[in-house]
Each structure stands twice: as C-alpha cells, then as structure tokens.
Structure 1
Amino acid sequence: MLKLLFLVFISWVQLVGADVPDCKSGIINFDPPLDRTTVTWYPRNFTNNAPLYPNNYNCTYQINVPQGWFAEIQLTVSSTTVQVIDQMGRIETTSNSNSECFYFIANGGKLKLSTGVTSANFGFSVVWKQYDNPNSVHKYHVSKSEAVPFSYFLYGNNPIIVEAETRVSATIVPQPSYKTQYLRGIIYLDGPNLTSPCLGTGLQLLNGNMQFVSKGNSLTVLILGNSGSYPLLLFNDFYNMQGIKRFEGIQCDSSCQELKIDASNGRSVFQVDNSKSQYVLKNMTGFGKLDVYAGNLTPEKRNLIASYDLTADNHLSLPQLFKGSFTTFVMESGNCTISQTYSAGYSHSVRFSTFSKAL
C-alpha cells in the first residue's frame, strides 16, 4: 500500500511539470512570427485548464512589439499572482483570470510568474496586430468656451485626435465590471500622432481616479482590441478642469443610493452624465451651499443655473428636474447627502457619474 501511494505521488509530480518548459535563464523572449496572423500559445494550446506549474517556479516572459503594432494577450492564471508590466513599466497584478485581455504597444511588456509555495495553473496566448486604419484618424476640438465636455461614445477602432485651445484633459466613465478589461486597449498618447509618448490606458485612468492632461494642445487615443465595450470618453479644455485633483467613478442605474459630498477639506464636485435621460435631484440634507452648473464648472461661472443654501432651507423646493447632457454640482465648504434618480422612460438604463475633489 505504501509503495502504491509513493508511485501515485511520483506520477502526480511528473504530471505537474510535464508541459512546463525550462526557464533556466529566468526570462523567455517572444518576438512576432513571420506569419503575424498566427496565434502564439504558451506553453501549449489549451481550451479549458491552463497547464499546471510546480511550486517555486519563477520566470519572466518578455513580449516584444515593433512600432506600429500591438500585442493582444489573453492570460489564464489561478492559485498564484502574475505581474503584468506594460511598456511604461507600470505593474498590474492578477491572480485569478480566464482568458483576460491585456495589450502592449511598442516596445512591449512583460508577464512575471512566481508560483511560490504552491503549484499553479498558468498559460497565455499572444497575437501581434497592426493598428487599424492609422491614416484614418478622426479629429475633434475642445475649447475654453465650451461648458459641456466633448463626449466620445467609443465604437470602432479608428484612432482619434483631440485638440484644445490650451491643453487637453481626458477622463473616462466607469464600465460594468465584466467590460473593464477592454479599457486596457484604450491607449492615450501625449501628442498629435501614433508615436507620441504614452500617458497610460483607459483602465489606468479609471483606477487612478484622475485625468490625463496633454503637455501640448493635442492628445491621441488608440483603440485596440474589443471596441464593443462601448466606453464613454470625456474630453475638455484643461482651462476648465485645472482646479480638479481627483475623479472617482460611480456607476448608477435608475435609482442611485444616497451619495455624500464632503467639502470639509476643500471644494468637492459631483458630475453627472445624463445624456440619455433627465436627471432628478430628489432630496438633500447637510449644511453649506450647493451650486449647480449646466455642463462643467467654469472659472467665470457663466453656466451657473441654481444655488441651494442648505443652512437656510431654501432647498425644500425639491425634487428638481435637470435637463441637458451634463450637470455639475459644486460645494465650496460643508457637506451634504443627496438622493437622485432619473426620469421615467429610462428606469432600466445604466447611467454614469463621476465625483471629483479639487485642490
């Protein structure tokens, strides 16, 4: 019986390492094949479970990408953590993914595997692709006089260039969780062409609770991979956004929960994209003054449409319907809790909001 158990154990150990290539140098390089329509699998083609790696296995997989191309990786991993290091050296970790999409542009990126004290499933596929229609660029313009952000509802893979009077500010609205992986394929470039320096991805922009700002007056956006995720990209002239420090995305449906605006440490801004419905401010409690703008907060306050003094109780005229595609609520000091909803006829639509806190 003991001999049988020993043989079973030996067979299991051999099975664990059967499909795992050596990584004696600590790094394995991947270059585009001559036939770039070919999908490269590592360590082999698998349909369900990725190959099982032994414990204490360490290897870095370098994915090289030439100019004008990108690599689309589908990564499967369980029971361990893999570091995904992009072309800017930024690190994202994942420990449980099934054919999850990642994208590298020139000069490429890395996958870093370290199994630690347990065995783990790991494998990936990579295919190299050229940018779609690099000469078919859609150009748009934003200006200081525009109170409403330019909203680009992404569909298709043509790159876009946004120009501004001063500098370009880019933000992004949240996506349902099952679509967020495709935000990695939205690449923001600091300049007017496809070889401009990279600012980061749509997912980094969203998770960083920030805005990307161009150094000059133009910004290019590459659209890679699955454009069917339909994210909404927002662009402004930085002149109207320069006081804002933090953006926090909130996904709302027809009846959002109560939201708190805290301006005890400085100005707070709550922004609502209501381009496909009408926004209803139902109730608010707290203290301080809440200003409402049609569009963005502008330095001259030329688009101020309402003010509520919570201390003086003149907000009791609520609920209030706000029309238009974009509404901004600003508190200079104090704090309040608001309840909100959207107009009838859109009760099942998914709406998006962004919260930002100024310097």
Structure 2
Amino acid sequence: MGRTAARQFGASALTALRGPDPAARGGAALPGPAGRAAGPYGPCPDPAPPEALVTLSHLECVRCAARFPLADHPRGCPDCDTAGRNANLFCVYEESTPPTERLPYDTVPALGEGDTPLLRLPWLAGASVKNEAANPTGSHKDRFAAMAVAHAAASGYERVAISSSGNAGLALAAYAAAAGLRCTVAGYTRLPEPVRERIADLGADLRLFDTDAERVALIRESAARPDTLAVSNIAEPFVGCHPIGIEGYKRIAWEIAAQAAEEVRHVVVPTSRGDLAWGIHRGFAELRGTPPPRLHLVEPFPRLTAVLAGAPVGGHFPGDSGRLSSIAGHTTTVQAHRAVTLSGGSAVVVSSDTADDWYARLCGRGHVWERSSVTVFAAYERLRAQGTIGADEHTVLVATSHFFKGL
C-alpha cells in the first residue's frame, strides 16, 4: 500500500475471514471436487459451511518466521524489509482448522475457476498434466485473482492494482469486474494485442511501460491511495504477490491429491517469482498422510538454479527469456527457494528455443498451451533422463495457460 504502517484487515474482512453469512457478502462458494473418489491423499471435500470455518491466526515470514497480525504488507515481511532482505509472508491458520478448509475466504466472486482436469496422455509415460488453461481467463492466475479480489472487496477497497506480464492482469481485470471493483494493470509495451484488448474489454485501466521499474512505480503510486489494494508487491527485488491471493493456489494441490489414481511423487511447475510453486507446496504440506511431492521449478535461465548453487537469493541474474514472457524476470524469491528446498525438489533451466520445439510438438498432438507452460514437458524429459525422476514415480506437470492470448 505504500504507507509506512501496514493497513490492518478491516472489520468486514475479518468478518469474512471468520465466515458468518456468505449471502451477506455475495459471491459463490469456492468450487470443490465433490463426489470424486478419494486419491492416495484422501478425499478433497468442499469447504466447510461458513459457521465451521476457523479464522486465520496470523501472517508469517517465509524467511525469518517472524509473526505479524493480519494486515496488508505490500513490501512483504516488515522485519526483513527493514534489514534489506526482502521476503514474502504467508497465511497461518488456527491449528484446529482441517487442512482442506485452510482458505482465507469461503466465498469469492467465482467465475468457474478451479477443478481443472488432470490429464493422462497416452504418449507421456509416467506423468499427468494439470490443465490450468481450463480456468475462465485461460490460466492458473484466476485462482489467485478470485481470492485477492474477495479480500479487496471484504476489506472495503474500491480498486485493485497489479504489475503483470499478461495472465495475472487479465485474471484480475475479470474478477474485479465480477466484484464491481475497479482495476489498474501495469503491463509491458510488448503485451500481446489479444491480452490488451481483453483487459480493456473488462473495464480495467491498462498502462504499458518498457521496464520493471516503471511498472513498480505505478503500482507503488496506486498502493499509496487508501482506496486501492496492490496485489503485486512494491518491494525491489520482488518478494511475490499478496499472500491472500497465493492461498488460492493451494487448491491445485488438493485437487491433484483427489484426482490422482496413484501417489504423486513429483510436481513440475513453470516459475518466475514462485507464487504458484509456494501455493502448491503449502497445499500439499498442509495435507495429512502421504509425504508431499518434490517440486521442480522451471525457469528460462539460471536464477533459482544459481541460488541453489550458492548465489544470494536477492541478486540480479542476467539472461534472456526469449518468448517465455510469463516466467521472465531477472530475480527470484525466498518463497521459490523454500518451495524447492522444503520439498526436496530442484530448479530446471529450459531455454526459449527448447520451449519452441516442445510447443510445435504439442501443437502437433492438438495441445494448445503457451510456451511458458510447455517448459514443464522439456523439464520432465530432462529430469527423467538424469534419473531425478524415476520411471515408476508418478509426476504431475502443471500446464499454466493456453496459447490463444499470444503469450
């Protein structure tokens, strides 16, 4: 929010978090995989009725484990920010809260997000594909946007703002429109025309810039207004997006657990700042029973790979993302590093040229995922070849977005 002190969650937000009458807040219940057979992790039920929900307890730093009361912290952990070592926060629930009820809001401005298919492809041995392109605006970002907009509406904000390479801006514009909120999107001048047009169609205020610094400046300016919630952070280097929104990604883990016919040992995820990976890791970690799978994060050039080899997590990493705009950027985050190290996973570099090859191969089989998404196929092939993933270890590849937006 750009203010010295974090804005505390308002009374309406805390009421929503405690879950009284959903009809009073509007919106639809989060979709859940009701009626499906249980996977090896057990069933993945719908969220409990509002009166059964338990409140969020607090926010916690992914780096230093400092605890903070419920408030919006647009620069991430205040303690780490003061020390000059940026890190995000994450949501912690009362211990008595059942794992699959650990969501900040039981109602969101739903457009049909979630419950995406888990595909078994006959030609892809040992792996399934979680098709996040089946979400309403065509990407996993809808899960984040639904939760972030629910929080903005419950907290009394009138506008949401985000810095985006495309998918997140489109998703936020859609969910803001559904909730009757205004939306500001700071994008790149190279943003594909289909994405520009759809964001404009949804009524958002789209501003285009050449650099990250210019985009962050606009979000910082927007966040300083009391009526605006910035859902992408304003710290540099970036720490990740708003922790309430990231909670929406946990349902991917829960859905995989319910959909998979066998134990999932590995999950391969495209990554930039690690929001998706951290959300999936948290979702699996909060389930009881079978140990969570190892997460493998795919990037266009060494960032997290360099950090795992000893480079500082807050460094600037040179490299060319090529056409992989959705996972571009020259920094990584503590939450990405923690998702890998806590799960026992790895980082995998897949170049834009390699992604182009896989894009053509997949199109030849009728699959229409964007290039950043298809990096998971190249990464899986490599991880199998080097023995990191065994032939008998079931793996889920997260295909994050379809190709119709020109990304």
TM normalised by structure 2 equals 0.26
The structure where helix makes up a greater share of residues is 2
TM normalised by structure 1 equals 0.28
The structure where strand makes up a greater share of residues is 1
Larger Rg: 1
Determine which structure has greater relative contact order: mean sequence separation of CA pairs < 8 Å that are 6+ residues apart, divided by chain length: 2
